[in-house]
Structure 1
């Protein structure tokens, strides 16, 4: 069997209970050179449980209320079920309880993740090079659950000297088929291999993998581990960017996050908008509540530049005529028209319309007015669903009221039935700039209890 691909993995015994201020690299070096052990060699990879780094770095905190510690470490809640919270922590990791651990620590305390796991890994790598003269890779690990899969596994949250990703795109498989999406999470695979021999209860927080030296970055001295050669990115490279995360809003709890993400966008890129994504948003819109089991929504999709320009030019002319009739100066009119150009900046427009099919007619004006108000409210609910669904598709939007001021013009230009009432227009596209921070609103300020 000589020559076949293989590796060896073993747990490193002899690591004592770690305390604040301990040098983890020296503890590992001492344990690795004990009698009867194979020691460390160039090309080895060490998997180091994050908890011993947390202890050494003083990340043990008093916390009679573990939930408060989770709150402090979390930047957003992704999902919640009973007391369990899946959150994104300040490192960008999405995990249960922000990585706050109440095990293997004295009662009344909790362990927080290392402040910078990549930096922790670099210190261990440098320390082992200085102490033992070896070039090794280091992976800092922590235990994660996984969507759609039962059970836990270790993954990499920090790394140094290791090619954390193996990008196979551009190559071919054994049949000559091009590989267009294959990027292997090498550091996570190493972490899982190490977890098979490590163990919390056994007091074995470090594992060694030998035989995979091709994943270790060449040592270039003091700069090793800080990005030398462009191959040592650290485990941060494993965290998927929000813009590329298809499952960022994947649970019912995350719908609330989509509502938060729904922001008015006034500057758009030139990127084309996927009409399929807009239609999926319309499908969400028409689930809104409506009176009398009606369907009072219609959405006119302006997918061609010609249709958008034709409508906006006609609306502009009607608006200018109205402003002149109101006595505004030409300078003031020009300024207002420029301010309303958000629709022209968008690569895609949608005109939501209200129809009163199925509405009731009453003998008095008061009830007829209330009947229309019900339908208008239903139209607004549909548009809100639409905007939130667009946010879930990673599309920005701006709902402006302009078409409501020239409904006849809109109907004529777009060839709409006489009973379709335009309810504004929605600009859709990719946001060109990040939205400004939104002031926090206290929900209690909008609540009245009787």
Structure 2
């Protein structure tokens, strides 16, 4: 795996608005900290700044709640306009109880409020939505960072890069609650550049017995580890992870999603 794992908060990102070039912003912030991306690096980026850059924002003042949203709002104590936005982002309402809406999003994620969130937004009466395609967002950001590393457009590197940047991974994360456990944990919702699961099945354990079910969700573990330096109230939406020997791959979050046939709780 490597002898040392470093998790570095990337500071100075600043306020993100629709159309912001996250690649340039992140590259510039890294440069300001004296950091240069290296082969094998992983960037964990919070969903919120990706959604802001992609304009995935909704003003509640422009939302007209449906009759169903009004009914749920009365039962849950939520703003009916907020509920309406949640319903629009929901493929399946999994559970509604004690003011909590657990939803399956159109992406196939199961999380509270379909990922619709009102925290860390400058405008009042505004909510953010998850990116339409977080994998595509992760790929686009990775490609942008790779191109900037080649062109040096966002930094004045001295000395010049010694080797081309080719192996880079990007994880887009969101913070979700978990069944059976209190507290929230960062999870991967978009992955580019690494295999999201390390599959040990078929390999021997320390005593020679064949492993049958061990498949570790490394993308989720990396996202959770990154959150330890992402101070939600201090504007740190990006973390650099260095030293983890992941398996390079196209990536994608789909392998992390349990299908209906194997979901014992559906």
Q: TM-score, normalised by structure 1?
A: 0.50
Matched, 1:93 2:109: yes
CA 1:4 to 1:167, structure 2 compared with 1: closer, same or farther past 3 Å? Answer: closer
What is aligned with 1:235?
Answer: 253
CA 1:21 to 1:244, structure 2 compared with 1: closer, same or farther past 3 Å? Answer: same
Counterparts in 2 of 1:10-409, with a 5 A limit? 10-34=8-32, 36-64=33-61, 65-105=81-121, 106-133=123-150, 134=165, 135-212=167-244, 214-217=245-248, 231-248=249-266
- Corresponding pairs, count: 231
CA 1:174 to 1:38, structure 2 compared with 1: closer, same or farther past 3 Å? Answer: same
Q: Could you give the per-residue CA deviations for residues 176-232 of structure 1, whole angstroms, max 9, x where no partner exists? A: 1110001000000000010000122110000000001x3151xxxxxxxxxxxxx32
Distance in 2 between the 1:66 and 1:156 partners? Answer: 24
CA 1:59 to 1:216, structure 2 compared with 1: closer, same or farther past 3 Å? Answer: same
Mapped contact 2:186–2:223 kept (Cα < 8 A): yes
Q: Could you give the per-residue CA deviations for residues 227-258 of structure 1, whole angstroms, max 9, x where no partner exists? A: xxxx323112211111111122xxxxxxxxxx
Distance in 1 between the 2:185 and 2:56 partners? Answer: 23
What is aligned with 1:355?
Answer: none
Distance in 1 between the 2:136 and 2:195 partners? Answer: 16
Superposed CA RMSD: 1.3
Deviation of 1:41 after TM superposition, in Å, equals 0.8
Determine helix, strand or coil for the equivalent of 2:226: helix
Distance in 1 between the 2:262 and 2:247 partners? Answer: 28
CA 1:77 to 1:33, structure 2 compared with 1: closer, same or farther past 3 Å? Answer: same
Q: Could you give the per-residue CA deviations for residues 375-424 of structure 1, whole angstroms, max 9, x where no partner exists? A: xxxxxxxxxxxxxxxxxxxxxxxxxxxxxxxxxxxxxxxxxxxxxxxxxx
- Structure 1 residue runs of 5 or longer lacking an equivalent are 218-230, 249-450
- Structure 2 residue runs of 5 or longer lacking an equivalent are 62-80, 151-164
CA 1:85 to 1:160, structure 2 compared with 1: closer, same or farther past 3 Å? Answer: same
Moved more, 202-211 or 131-140: 131-140
Mapped contact 1:164–1:237 kept (Cα < 8 A): yes
Determine helix, strand or coil for the equivalent of 1:215: coil
Deviation of 1:57 after TM superposition, in Å, equals 0.3
What is aligned with 1:9?
Answer: 7
In terms of fraction of residues, the more strand-rich structure is 2
Q: Could you give the per-residue CA deviations for residues 295-324 of structure 1, whole angstroms, max 9, x where no partner exists? A: xxxxxxxxxxxxxxxxxxxxxxxxxxxxxx
Distance in 2 between the 1:4 and 1:76 partners? Answer: 42
User: Greater CA radius of gyration, 1 or 2?
Assistant: 1
Distance in 2 between the 1:72 and 1:83 partners? Answer: 18
Counterparts in 2 of 1:403-418, with a 5 A limit? none
In terms of fraction of residues, the more helix-rich structure is 1
